[in-house]
A and B are shown apart, each in its own frame.
Chain A
Amino acid sequence: MATVTYSKATRIYPGTERPAVDHLDLEIGDGEFLVLVGPSGCGKSTSLRMLAGLEDVDDGSIHIDDRDVTHLPPKSRDIAMVFQNYALYPHMTVYENMAFALKLRKTSKADIDKRVKEAAALLQLEDYLNRKPKALSGGQRQRVAMGRAIVRKPQVFLMDEPLSNLDAKLRVQTRTQIAALQANLGITTVYVTHDQVEAMTMGHRVAVMLDGVLQQVDTPRALYDQPSNVFVAGFMGSPAMNIKTVPVTEGGALFADMTVPLSREQVAAAQADGGDGKVTVGFRPEDCDMVSPTEGGMPVVVELVEDLGSDANVYGHAALNGTNERFVVRTDRRHMPNMGDTIFVKPRPDRHHVFHAVTGNRI
């Protein structure tokens, strides 16, 4: 039951020039599930650890509700954290692991018992309360780590890639469980992951980071449909968006023989700020069609076809301004081309994204 506010929070590791987290401004609403996502080394874990109090804040501040927690030790922040490798206390039973934080708070025995049993029931851990962590499977350990956070009834949950040690199937299953659990408890949650599928499926809002700088915060849908720059466009979605920098003319962006139409404002914006007659255009694999040779598509030579069961990804290359550029197209299984075929690809009108060639910002 709390909001979290980062204002210009900055972390510079001793002995490094570049900040690991650079002037992070982020507001997280009460009961919101916010996902921090980005490639490794982008500062997402550091941001989380700053909120946890495990990392110093060199500049700026962090508030939980109206309380300034910037320099408080972890124990006075009323937060609970789930670690990537669970970090269970190996010499304690599941029950003791979950009760540890409550005992430190001098909660009464009866109350501890009640809350641990509740959490155990919620996570289907009742049968394992007397076991030590080493006698548990990976999924069970993950649930104990969750339980240890839940019994606290903290103001904020912090989760640092809690699913990355589970196998693929269990990960998908646990993903939905965590999302449902969070919706149930209504506790503000900050969740760090490098997996954009997790980010898209779990978060109410997603914050994309790169090199310590926040790129964009928005709902998963808006992030996918309206990426604010080239990096976000390329990071969200799998397979990744086709993003190419091509010459721009009055009529639009020039893909070899094909012209992707741009509006007058877009052309003007592309040529401003040293655009140098180029523009970056992206379109998602599912936002283009395979057309017949006469319909003005771009010829792509097929290199690889991935049959996913529900549909297929076609990978190929096309000659573009003298170089071979790779393209991905998602297609119906019924129209799967063969390797070595030449297909003609045409982006659907108005489903392409246009970015400035130099700054990378959306135009």
Chain B
Amino acid sequence: MTTTPTRPAPATAAAPPGGAAARVRKRLNTRTATVVSIIIAVLWTIPTFGLFISSFRPENDIKSTGWWTFFTDPQVTLENYQEVLFGRTASSGQLASYFINSLVITLPSVLFPLAFAALAAYALAWINFRGRDWIYICVFALQIVPLQMALVPLLSFFSEGVTVGGVTLLPAWGLTGEERFIQVWFAHTCFALPLGIFLLHNFVSQLPRDLMEAARVDGATHPKIFRTIVLPLITPALAAFGIFQFLWVWNDLLVALIFAGGGKQTAPLTVRLAELAGTRGNEWQRLTSGAFVSIVIPLIVFLSLQRYFVRGLLSGSVKG
């Protein structure tokens, strides 16, 4: 269609449909981009890899030479793992029981926020009631409050209850021993809900309106719509938020230490790992194997939930 003499146009001259975003995406798919991303991935993995090698090296080697000397002088031992998992001295080992504590803390702390956030997101997105938007804005705004600000009020809430002007609205919880897990679950759930509701609300409100209306005309009530239509369709969002929340709780030291204490009965892995290095930090070779023990579960969770990241769950439902 051009009247000027034809000249081989550079490939990039023709703007691909979709504009800048499409161009960026196209560039990112080139071979160079692939190579660069592989290099970045390798660079980022090297420290973890070094930690992994170190965890199998004898204590003296770890403390005197770098992990890369392993390749010239391979010395393999399982002593570090032996010590952190089953060691008998006060500062070593017995990770097994803390491992259970971590699981006991983490599972409810993931499931409660998931359930509540999904319910709240559905209600805020699809049930008409007065003040709905204001509630959503308040929940959204709560994300601004840093967790650390809430620690003291929450602690006093547990230990003293709620008293307004001499009238006791809620008595002290008075939890001791293993009951203190409840405090950790409660705290984690509170801290997770604003972000969880926000994320899931975005997802739930994107579901087609006609789908909800079709279900209502078919005779479904709100609980039924939530269970049979909404939940199956937001599994990717649930999985994403679930993974985030799991990693956050699993790696959390602060909240668990404050609300569950540092005792063997209730303390999670992270608390124990911090102690492993010994009171003066002289036993830090144990951290290498301890870190790997604590990585195992998050890895399993991530890999097993990954299959729920499915695109196009909604395709075929509505057209146009």
Contact = CB atoms under 8 A, between A and B. Distances in A.
Interface of A: 52-54, 73-75, 79-81, 83-91, 100-101, 104-105, 132-136, 138, 141, 148, 152, 158, 165
A86 B319 contact: yes
B219 A104 contact: yes
A87 B213 CA distance: 9
Given A91-B233, A134-B315, 11 more contacts: A54-B213, A74-B219, A75-B220, A86-B317, A87-B318, A88-B214, A91-B313, A104-B220, A132-B316, A152-B218, A165-B320
Contact of A54 (B216, B218, B316, B317): B216
B263 interface: no
Contact of A91 (B221, B224, B232): B232
10 contacts: A73-B216, A75-B216, A75-B221, A79-B217, A80-B217, A80-B218, A87-B317, A90-B314, A90-B317, A100-B220
B312 interface: yes
Max chain A Cβ within 10 angstroms of own Cβ: one of B214, B221, B232, B233: B214
B319 A138 contact: yes
A105 B219 CA distance: 8
B240 interface: no
B220 A165 contact: no
Interface in B63-88: none
Given A79-B217, A104-B219, A135 B316 contact: yes
Given A87-B210, A90-B233, A91-B233, A52 B316 contact: no
B232 A100 contact: no
Interface string B229-248: 10011000000000000000
Contact of B214 (A87, A104, A136, A165): A87
Contacts of B312: 134
Nearest to A144: B316
Nearest to B224: A104
Interface residues on B, range: 20 to 34
Interface of B: 208, 210-211, 213-221, 224, 228-229, 232-233, 312-320
A104 B218 contact: yes
Nearest to B213: A54
Nearest to A142: B319
Nearest to A154: B217
B318 A85 contact: yes
Contacts of A141: 316, 319
A91 B312 CA distance: 11
Nearest to A138: B319
Nearest to A89: B229
A89 B217 contact: no
Contacts of B208: 85, 87
Top 6 nearest A-B pairs (CB, nearest first) are A134-B316, A133-B316, A87-B210, A90-B317, A101-B218, A85-B318
Contact of A89 (B213, B219, B317, B319): B317
A100 B315 CA distance: 19
A152 B214 CA distance: 13
The listed residue with most A CB atoms (<10 A of its CB), out of B220, B314, B318, is: B318
B233 A74 contact: no
B316 A88 contact: yes
Contacts of A136: 316
A83 B318 CA distance: 9
Given A75-B219, A75-B221, A165-B320, A89 B315 contact: no
B217 A52 contact: yes
B236 to A, nearest CB: 12
A90 B221 contact: no
B216 A83 contact: no
Nearest to A73: B216
A74 B216 contact: yes
A104 B229 CA distance: 13
B20 to A, nearest CB: 30
A138 B313 CA distance: 17
A273 B20 CA distance: 62
A90 B315 contact: yes
A89 B317 CA distance: 6
Nearest to B209: A87
Nearest to A82: B214
Contacts of B228: 100
B223 to A, nearest CB: 12
A86 B315 contact: no
A90 B210 contact: no
B215 to A, nearest CB: 8
Contact of B319 (A85, A105, A148): A85
Nearest to B207: A90
Given A90-B233, A90-B314, A134-B312, A85 B320 contact: yes
